[in-house]
Structure 1
Amino acid sequence: MGRNKIPRVICGKPADSCFKPNGIPMSQLEHIDLAADEFEALRLVDLQGMHQQDAAVAMGVSRQTLANLVKAARLKVADCLVNGKALMMCH
């Protein structure tokens, strides 16, 4: 059995609950969920330009956990952009 998930400090919130390609109904799109901690890691590192170590401290996680969150978030965003999927923000 794995360890319990460490609580993460999440300060930022997405502007909207989803982003999707124009002109295609949601019912016809594949959905990709972006977790709140993945969103926060992406916001701190890519938008605010924080170093991963500083962002990890701000979120209350290890640097490796932060790196894993950023990697997962970037993969999901790229998948949505390249393959025309809806990106759903989980709260």
Structure 2
Amino acid sequence: MRWRHRRGQVGRMPKPRYIDFIPPSKIVFIPRDHQGNDLSRGPPVTLMPDELEALRLVYLEDMTQEEAAQRMGVSRGTIWRLLESGRKKLISALVNLQPIEIETVKEEK
């Protein structure tokens, strides 16, 4: 198999992922104490839109990974990796008191 070149890069083109929940702008959650003092330590953890959508579908909408994969147009393995990545990021941010940023979808030119 030969490598495919795209826009100067080598590899396969990414498969589009269908995301229902798209925040209008970047959202940042900052850890605070009960008096409102900022407790954040370290750099923010960035949650990507596809990770957020996978977490939303599986944990809020109570879909199976297979159903969520069909809804997003990806494989079940991809959903598993998105869930794993999203959970690790959220747990790290909560335990280490890091801000959580939720990115918006970048428009393609």
Q: TM-score range by the shorter chain?
A: 0.7 to 0.9
Matches within 5 A, 1:76-91: 76-91=89-104
Count, aligned residues:
90
CA distance in 2, matches of 1:67, 1:2: 22
Higher helix share: 1
Q: Displacement, 1:12?
A: 1.4
**Would you say 1:75 and 2:88 are equivalent positions?**
yes
Aligned ranges 1:11-26 → 2 under 5 Å? 11-14=20-23, 17-22=27-32, 23-24=37-38
Please, which runs of 5 or more residues in structure 2 have no aligned partner?
Answer: 1-9, 105-109
Deviates more, 1:80-89 or 1:14-23: 14-23
SS state at 1:50 partner:
coil
| RMSD between aligned residues | 2.0
Q: Alignment partner of 1:33: what SS?
A: strand
Supply the AA of the counterpart residue of 2:103.
Answer: C
Q: Does residue 5 in structure 1 map to residue 19 in structure 2?
A: no
Structure 1 unaligned spans of 5+: none
Structure with the bigger RCO (C-alpha within 8 Å, sep 6+) is: 1
Give yes or no for contact 2:27–2:101 (8 Å, CA) kept in 1: yes
Q: Percent identity?
A: 38
Spell out, residue by residue over 1:17-67, the C-alpha distance to the aligned partner (whole angstroms, 9 max, x if none).
0112012277x6421110000000000011111100000000000000011
Q: Give runs of ≥4 in structure 1 deviating > 4 Å.
A: none
1:5 is displaced (CA, Å) by: 1.4
